[in-house]
Amino acid sequence: MNFFFRNFFFVFLFLGLVGNNTYLIGLIKNDTKWFWIDNYTKLNYTNWRISEPNSCCGMNVKCVTVNWNGIMDDQWSDIDCDNMSSINFICKKKV
């Protein structure tokens, strides 16, 4: 079972019940590499939407969202970190 599945499986089940949403997942870009923000570990799993990451539409496109809308279920998009005020987020908790 990979890291992503193990840590987010129940969250995605919950999101599926809630409806259409976009959530920040705590992934950031440092220069040209993507890292988890909590401990700067490199990715060992990705689920980018087709044509992502594309660095589109902003000066600070270094953050990542996961989409849950029935079409792009659980796929990632990079976004401008300066335009995140209306986006929900997912928190990580050890169990």
Task: For each of the domains in the chain, give its residue range(s) and CATH number, in order of start.
Answer: 3-89 (3.10.100.10)
- For 10, the enclosing helix (H) or strand (E) is helix 3-18
Residues 6+ apart with CB under 8 A from 56: 78
pLDDT at 75: 85
pLDDT recorded at residue 61: 93
Q: Per residue of the chain (95 residues), what is the pLDDT tens digit?
A: 455 555 555 555 555 555 557 888 889 998 888 998 888 788 888 889 899 999 888 889 999 988 776 655 678 999 999 887 778 787 776 76
Distances (CA, A) of 22 to 5, 36, 64, 86, 87: 18, 18, 10, 10, 7
Q: What is the CA radius of gyration of the chain?
A: 13
pLDDT at 79: 92
Chain-centre distance for alpha carbon 1:
19
What is residue 1's predicted lDDT score, i.e. its pLDDT?
Answer: 45
